[in-house]
Structure 1
Amino acid sequence: MKDFNRNEPYNDLPLLPPKAALETTKVLRKTIEASRALAKLNGMLINLPNPTLFLDTIHLQEAKASSEIENIITTNDELYKAIVADKKFDNPSTKEVISYKEALWQGLEAIDKKPFITTNLCIEIVQSIKKNTAGIRTTPGTSLKNPQGVTIYTPPTGEAVIREKLANLEKFVNEKDAIDPLIKMAIMPYQFEAIHPFTDGNGRTGRILLLLYLKIENLLDIPALYLSEYIIKNKTSYYSKLRHVTEKDAWEEWILYMLEMISFTANKGLNLLNQVNGFMQTFTDEVKETLPKVYSKDLIEILFKLPYTKRQYLIDAGLGTPKTVGNYLNELESAGYLTSEKVGKEKLYLNYGLMEILEKS
Structure 2
Amino acid sequence: MPYRVNPDRNVPWNTLPELPIDRHLYEDVEIYSQLGNAKAALGRLQGRSIVIPYQGLLINSISLQEAKASSAIENIFTTDDELYQAYSEEQIQQQTGPSKEVLYYREALWEGYSYLKEQVFDENYFVKMYRIVSQFNDGIRTLIAQIVIKEGGTGPNAGKVSYTPPRGKGVVEAKLQNLIEFLNDDKTYPIDTLLKMAIGHFQFEAIHPFRDGNGRTGRIFNIHYLTKKGLLDYPILFLSRYIMDHKEDYYAGLAGVTQRGSWKNWLLYMLKAVEETSNITFDKINDIVNAKDAILKAVIEDTDIARPESLVNAIFTQPYTRVKHLVGGNVYAENTARKYLDQLTDMGVLEKRVIGKGNYYLNLELYRILSE
**TM-score, normalising length: structure 2:** 0.93
Deviations 1:313-357 (Å, cap 9, x if unpaired)? 111232322111111111111222111112333211111121011
- Amino acid of the residue matched to residue 17 of structure 1? P
Q: Secondary structure at the match of 2:38?
A: helix
- In structure 2, which of residues 16, 25, 29 is the aligned counterpart of residue 13 of structure 1? 16
Question: How many residues are treated as equivalent by the alignment?
Answer: 359
Consecutive unaligned residues of structure 1, counting only runs of 5 or more, are none
Is 196-205 or 292-301 further displaced after alignment? 292-301
Alpha-carbon separation, structure 1, partners of 2:332 and 2:54: 22
Q: Offset at 1:89?
A: 6.3
- Amino acid of the residue matched to residue 142 of structure 1? I
- Amino acid of the residue matched to residue 243 of structure 1? A
Q: Secondary structure at the match of 2:360?
A: strand
Q: Structure 1 residue runs of 4+, over 3 Å off?
A: 86-91
Q: Secondary structure at the match of 1:305?
A: coil
Matched, 1:129 2:141: no
8 Å contact kept, 1:137–1:159: no
Deviations 1:75-103 (Å, cap 9, x if unpaired)? 11100100113687654211110111111
Q: Offset at 1:65?
A: 0.6
Matched, 1:78 2:82: yes
- In structure 2, which of residues 114, 134, 152 is the aligned counterpart of residue 109 of structure 1? 114
- Please show how residues 1-150 of structure 1 align to structure 2 within 5 Å: 2=5, 4-19=7-22, 20-85=24-89, 91-114=96-119, 116-138=120-142, 139-147=144-152, 148-150=158-160
In structure 2, relative to structure 1, the CA distance for the partners of 1:63 and 1:278 (3 Å cut) is: same
Is 235-244 or 88-97 further displaced after alignment? 88-97
Alpha-carbon separation, structure 2, partners of 1:320 and 1:275: 27
Is 215-224 or 199-208 further displaced after alignment? 215-224
Q: Offset at 1:47?
A: 0.7
> Where does residue 335 of structure 1 map in the other structure?
347
Q: Secondary structure at the match of 1:284?
A: helix
- Amino acid of the residue matched to residue 166 of structure 1? L
> Where does residue 177 of structure 2 map in the other structure?
167
- Amino acid of the residue matched to residue 72 of structure 1? I
Name the % identity.
38
- Amino acid of the residue matched to residue 158 of structure 1? G
Alpha-carbon separation, structure 1, partners of 2:17 and 2:71: 29
- Amino acid of the residue matched to residue 323 of structure 2? R
Consecutive unaligned residues of structure 2, counting only runs of 5 or more, are 153-157
Deviations 1:48-96 (Å, cap 9, x if unpaired)? 1213422111111111110100001101110010011368765421111
8 Å contact kept, 2:86–2:95: no
Q: Offset at 1:281?
A: 1.1
Deviations 1:164-192 (Å, cap 9, x if unpaired)? 00000001111113211111011011100
Deviations 1:113-171 (Å, cap 9, x if unpaired)? 11x21111000111011222021111242110012101100011125100000000001
- In structure 2, which of residues 278, 287, 303 is the aligned counterpart of residue 275 of structure 1? 287
Alpha-carbon separation, structure 2, partners of 1:175 and 1:27: 23
Q: Secondary structure at the match of 1:53?
A: helix
Deviations 1:190-242 (Å, cap 9, x if unpaired)? 10010000011001001111111101111111221011110111111111111
In structure 2, relative to structure 1, the CA distance for the partners of 1:225 and 1:3 (3 Å cut) is: closer
Q: Offset at 1:291?
A: 1.3
Alpha-carbon separation, structure 2, partners of 1:312 and 1:103: 25
Matched, 1:176 2:180: no
Q: Secondary structure at the match of 2:20?
A: coil
- Please show how residues 252-291 of structure 1 align to structure 2 within 5 Å: 252-291=264-303
- Amino acid of the residue matched to residue 231 of structure 1? I
**TM-score, normalising length: structure 1:** 0.96
Alpha-carbon separation, structure 2, partners of 1:183 and 1:86: 37
Q: Secondary structure at the match of 1:349?
A: strand
8 Å contact kept, 1:241–1:254: yes
- Amino acid of the residue matched to residue 162 of structure 1? V
8 Å contact kept, 1:85–1:348: no
Q: Secondary structure at the match of 2:359?
A: strand
Alpha-carbon separation, structure 2, partners of 1:183 and 1:48: 28
- Amino acid of the residue matched to residue 76 of structure 2? I
8 Å contact kept, 1:136–1:159: no
- Amino acid of the residue matched to residue 63 of structure 1? A
8 Å contact kept, 2:60–2:318: yes
Is 164-173 or 218-227 further displaced after alignment? 218-227
